Every structure is written in structure tokens, then in C-alpha cells.
Structure 1
């Protein structure tokens, strides 16, 4: 059986959980936290930055959430088309994966990290730059969605977009000027694998440094 090291409140853990849930792949979630020091020690040894998620598949260790999704698509395929068979469509999926990781997740984490550094007095420049980065990413995605069609769910795009948009909207709400993106977020949050991630993370919402809104 596969083993996934991560945490239910972690966005990148969600990214690995969504394809596992979507394809009904048997696995064990090994929570990384104070109550499981051995799991944290394993992650520190397995990843060059000591970060999760980490997937164990027999004798194979896979780090980084995108690589985990690619590994699952190759070695544990199921009804969810994680990576399109068509190379051109696969390129688009991988492109959007980087957009969501680098510019949505990256921007929201700039703001969140400011609160992690000093919850009562976060660096205003980091918060401002994080939010402005999100607004710029929102505008780009809104335009892209207006001119292109997305692959069928659940793909690598879903795995990247669902957690990043879920938490990004908490930091900087998607504006009314981006109705396609708002609708896409709502569509993602209605998918059963994403619903499961959201529900399993509810007990940890108090840990969200800027404060979790009373919604979603």
C-alpha cells in the first residue's frame, strides 16, 4: 500500500490527496506533526528541504506534489485523467499547474508567511505584495478561462487549482470582475475529492495565520 506523509490542513498535501481520492487508490496517510515525531523525522530525511508531502510507493520515494501526481498518473491510473494522453493538452495542464503553484500559491504564501513570522504585526510590504500578486494572477486566469477550455476533472490542474484557490480566496477574495474564476473555484469545491479534503481540514482552521473566514 502507498503511504503519503503530509498534513490534512496543508495545501500541497491536498494536491497529492485529491488524485488518490479521485481514483480510489488505497493508501495510508501518515500525518506529520507534533503527535507523530517519527513521521516528521522521515520527511526531514527524505526531502532536501524537509517538506511534505512525500509519497512512498514500495521502494520508490517521490517528493514534491506535482511529481507525486505525475507518479500516480503513470503507476496508479484510474478513472480520473490526471495527465491528458494528448501531448499538447498535457503541456497546457503542466503550464497551468505552474501558474497555480508559482503565482497563486506563491503569492498567498508570501502574505501568510508574513503572519507566520509575526502574527500580530505582519510585514505590511509582504502582505501587500502577496495580495497584489494574487490580484494579478486572478486577472490572468480570468482572461485565460475566457479564451480556453479546461481539461476534464480530475486532472493535474484540479489538483493544483483547488487548494491554491481555496486558501487564496481567504487571503484576497476573488473580485467581482473575475466571475469565471469564482465559478471555477466553486466548481472545484463541489468535487467529492476536494470536499473530503476541505472537511478533513476543518478542525485545523484556527491554525490559519491571517485568520480563517466563516465560510467554505
Structure 2
């Protein structure tokens, strides 16, 4: 079995995506808690991955450093012999899963992060036009997902990569653009995700840091 270390933070939405996959698979790994406010930890992480984006998976057995969440999850499927695969073996079904993984990252996670990121900017550095665009993108994505989830349990076939992307994206998006109570099918899907043991574990681990989430503009 590979010797795996995940460099991550318990509050990061993209880290959640990979953690869900790891917990679903029952894969053994070391959790390297990243504190980028610490200058030495920050320097070490940028030496590992100069783009500075978390999470990053290190496979010491193979001597490989693997960035980017979707790639990490596929790497785990291929090399870590997971008990639960996040992509189906069938090529056509796998394409659908990848497509919905990209949908959640690009049209839910990215606009959510734009809105949240704007909240922690200084008042004179905020981007109201960009935030309005992000809200329009998020609203359109909600409409697509509400229609799609009318007759589905999971995003694309069995629970997999797309749902790993959906869980953190929708959980955080609901805090800044509430969907519960107005989008029944999407609400039910989010509640299924939050009840899934892998994601429930991630949420418990994040709880000590939850107060750092900027619910309103600061500064």
C-alpha cells in the first residue's frame, strides 16, 4: 500500500472533497494540518507545491506529489486500492461523473468562494460587480441542479467523485445563498450528503474552526 500524506486544512472546501473520498475508501493516510499563517509552514508548503493551493497529496512510496482535487481522487482510485471507487469502471459513466465534478467545482464552488473571499477583503478592495456575477452563476447552477436531482439520489450514478465535489460546495454555498426551504430536491440532496458518514466526519473535524467562516462582510 502507498505511504500517503494529505496536506490540508479542516475548514477548506477543496480539502473536504478529498477527505470525503479518503473516508469513503477507508484509505490509510497521514493528515498534515496546514497552518499557512505560520511562516515556516507556509514556506515548506510552497516548496512542496509552488502554486500554494491545498490540498496536496504526497505518495512517499512512489515519490510523487499530486495536486488538484479531482486528480488526487482519481490517483487514489488508481493506486490506493480503495474499498469504494469514486469513478466507475465504465468509460461512458466515468465521463458523466467527471462532467458533474467539473460542474460543482466551476459553477458552485468557484462562485461561492468568490463571494466568501470578497467578504474578507478590505472595504476599499471589494468587488461588487464580481460578487453579483458570482451570485448569478450560483443561482443558475441551483436551477440546473434542482431539475437534475428531482429523480436522483446522487449526482451521477452511485456516490462518487461528483458527490465529493458537491458536498462542500453546496454546504458552504447554502450559507451565503440559502437553498434550504426553497429548492426541495436540492435541499434533500444536500441533506443526504450531510448525513453520509464520510461527510459527517469531515463536518465534525471542521467544527473547531467553523467560527472563522465569514458569514458577513468584515472590515
TM-score where L is the length of structure 1? 0.89
- How do 1:81-160 and structure 2 match up within 5 A? 81-118=85-122, 122-146=126-150, 150-153=156-159, 155-160=160-165
Pairing partner for 2:193 from 188, 197, 200: 188
**Bigger mean CA deviation after superposition, 45-54 or 100-109:** 45-54
1:123 positional shift: 3.7
Distance of 2:178 and 2:165 partners within structure 1: 18
**Bigger mean CA deviation after superposition, 10-19 or 116-125:** 116-125
TM-score where L is the length of structure 2? 0.88
SS of corresponding position for 1:90: helix
**Bigger mean CA deviation after superposition, 27-36 or 53-62:** 27-36
Which residue number in structure 1 is paired with residue 14 of structure 2? 12
Aligned residues: 210
Which residue number in structure 1 is paired with residue 29 of structure 2? 27
1:45 positional shift: 2.2
Distance of 1:104 and 1:46 partners within structure 2: 28
CA displacement, residues 5-24 of structure 1 (integer Å, 9 cap, x when unaligned): 01000011111111111111
The CA RMSD over aligned residues, in Å, is 2.1
SS of corresponding position for 1:117: coil
Which residue number in structure 1 is paired with residue 57 of structure 2? 55
Distance of 2:89 and 2:40 partners within structure 1: 39
Which residue number in structure 1 is paired with residue 48 of structure 2? 46
- Residue ranges of structure 1 left out of the alignment (5+ in a row): 212-216
1:121 positional shift: 8.4
Which residue number in structure 2 is paired with residue 66 of structure 1? 70
Structure 1 residues 35 and 128: alpha-carbon distance in aligned structure 2, compared to 1, 3 A threshold? closer
Tell me, yes or no, if the aligned pair for 2:25 and 2:85 is still in contact at 8 Å.
no
Distance of 1:206 and 1:125 partners within structure 2: 27
Distance of 1:167 and 1:160 partners within structure 2: 12
- Residue ranges of structure 2 left out of the alignment (5+ in a row): none
SS of corresponding position for 2:54: coil
Distance of 1:166 and 1:120 partners within structure 2: 29
